[in-house]
Amino acid sequence: MAPSSDYKEFTDSLALAKRVVVLAGAGLSAGSGIPTYRGVGGLWKKQDPKKLATLDAFKRDPSLVWQFYHYRRELCLRAQPNAAHRALAELSIRDTRNRIMPSLTSTEPPLFITQNFDSLSPRALNDLADQLTSDEMKTVQNRLIEMHGSAFRTVCTQCKHVNFTYDSPLSPALADTSEVSFETPRDIPIDQLPRCGGPEWKGSNRYAKCGGLLRPAVVWFGEVPEGLGEISKELNWTDLLIVVGTSSLVYPAAGFSKTVRERGGKVAVFNLEPSADDTCDFMFLGPCEETLPKALGCNCAPSIHTTAIEQIS
């Protein structure tokens, strides 16, 4: 039986759902100008992920990998949350949940799992800070799992210190890296790449200022995604999984829909094109910044807080 594309039928199912989980992929941010990986013109159709997104690649050529991630990081810095980000963020508001998901058994917002490292979903949540108490905001932030890490976190390969910053560039040598120069990358010496303690490091060996080479705190191929324990626990009770903007090809996330269905739950897919997950209950094709707000009954006007990245750095 073909999946339904009836919005009324979906909203009826959403209203009856007792436990809801959202899984987002690269298509969620496509409307913000960030290229996807496997869609039309996708990043991995032009570049070899084995040379850019593995630990072995980083060990072999940290200069190349850092130039690639600096360019991606700059795209994320310039991007703004779109209507789909804002629609999902509004699920953090209790009145919104009571209106569209009155059967939820928990007072917490749905678990939001994103495979994106662009920080647009956390930024969309931050835009609602004046509508949430400090305790509600903490709960919302705890219910967001960036399972592939963040472009704005780094981890020291030596002392293992983790840092979060919107500062750019992370080292002067990366300042001129662009998509054009990435095609003919420069050979940047290791001591000019991002290091623990920053560009001004003066020889200290202290924790968080040890001078070690930093790596992007993103999850590369072959590494274990973040939050899998909490995700597995939540999926045991999920009766509606909302999948937004993902090809459903990369595991373990690609298996979440099967897990929910096997336990009797329903799956709704919002994607630009049909995904590998063709046994879902609902499928809404088109830009998710158009289909998702419609399905959730959200106008999602641009927030007055969502302007330049400097305002939240």
Q: What percent of the chain has pLDDT over 70?
A: 89
Residue 303's pLDDT is: 42
Residue 183's pLDDT is: 73
Look-up of token digits 């992920």? 49
Question: If we measure between CA atoms, which residue out of 39, 133, 22, 34 comes closest to residue 82?
Answer: 34
Give the domain extent around 236: 1-33+81-148+225-302
Q: Which residue has the higher pLDDT, 35 or 174?
A: 174
Question: pLDDT by residue (tens digit) across 86-125?
Answer: 999 999 999 999 999 999 999 999 999 999 999 999 999 9
Residue 211 included in any domain:
yes
Q: Indicate if 190 and 205 belong to the same structural domain.
A: yes
What residues does 114 pair with on adjacent strands?
24, 146
Question: pLDDT by residue (tens digit) across 137-149?
Answer: 999 999 999 999 9
Q: Indicate if 62 and 134 belong to the same structural domain.
A: no
Q: Which residue has the higher pLDDT, 39 or 245?
A: 245
Which positions are annotated as active-site residues?
A: 148
Question: pLDDT by residue (tens digit) across 165-198?
Answer: 999 999 999 998 877 676 788 899 999 999 999 9
Q: Which residue has the higher pLDDT, 275 or 257?
A: 257
CA distances from 285 to 147, 193, 271, 277 (A): 25, 42, 5, 13
Residue 220's pLDDT is: 95
Asked if pLDDT for residue 72 goes beyond 60, the answer is: yes
Residue 50's pLDDT is: 87
Residue 47 included in any domain:
yes
Residue 258 included in any domain:
yes
Residue 12 included in any domain:
yes
Q: Indicate if 284 and 156 belong to the same structural domain.
A: no
Average pLDDT over residues 141-167: 96
CA distances from 168 to 1, 29, 158, 219 (A): 50, 21, 22, 21
Highest mean pLDDT among 5-19, 32-46, 183-197, 298-312: 5-19
Return d(Cα 292, Cα 305) in angstroms, integer.
21
Confidence of residue 272 (pLDDT cuts 50, 70, 90): confident
- Mean per-residue pLDDT of the chain: 89
Q: Indicate if 8 and 51 belong to the same structural domain.
A: no
pTM listed for this prediction: 0.90
Q: Tell me, letter by letter, the H, E, C secondary structure of the chain.
A: CCCECCHHHHHHHHHHCCCEEEEECCHHHHCCCCCCCCCCCCHHHCCCHHHCCEHHHHHHCHHHHHHHHHHHHHHHHHCCCCHHHHHHHHHHCHHHHHHHCCCCCCCCCCEEEECCCCCHHHHHHHCCHHHCCHHHHHHHHHCEEECCEEEEEEEECCCCCEEECCCCCCCHHHCCCCHHHHHCCCCCCHHHCCECCCCCCCCCCECCECCCEEEEEECCECCCCCCHHHHHHHHCCCCEEEEECCCCCCCCHHHHHHHHHHCCCEEEEEECCCCCCCCCCEEEECCHHHHHHHHHCCCCCCCCCCCCHHHCC
CA distances from 83 to 54, 88, 263, 301 (A): 32, 9, 31, 7
What are the phi and psi torsion angles at 138 (to 5°)?
-60, -40
Q: What percent of the chain has pLDDT over 90?
A: 74
Average pLDDT over residues 75-81: 95
Q: Indicate if 257 and 124 belong to the same structural domain.
A: yes
Residue 204 included in any domain:
yes
Q: Indicate if 139 and 167 belong to the same structural domain.
A: no
Highest mean pLDDT among 157-171, 194-208, 266-280: 157-171
Q: Indicate if 163 and 287 belong to the same structural domain.
A: no
Residue 310's pLDDT is: 39
- Out of 173, 195, 218, pick the residue that ends a domain: 218
Structural domain count, the chain: 2
- Out of 189, 218, 247, pick the residue that ends a domain: 218
Q: Indicate if 229 and 286 belong to the same structural domain.
A: yes
Question: pLDDT by residue (tens digit) across 231-260?
Answer: 999 999 999 999 999 876 667 877 899 899
Q: Indicate if 98 and 144 belong to the same structural domain.
A: yes
Return d(Cα 113, Cα 27) in angstroms, integer.
14
Residue 312 included in any domain:
no
**Residue list, annotated binding site for Zn(2+):** 156, 159, 196, 210
Residue 51's pLDDT is: 87
* CATH code, domain carrying 129: 3.40.50.1220
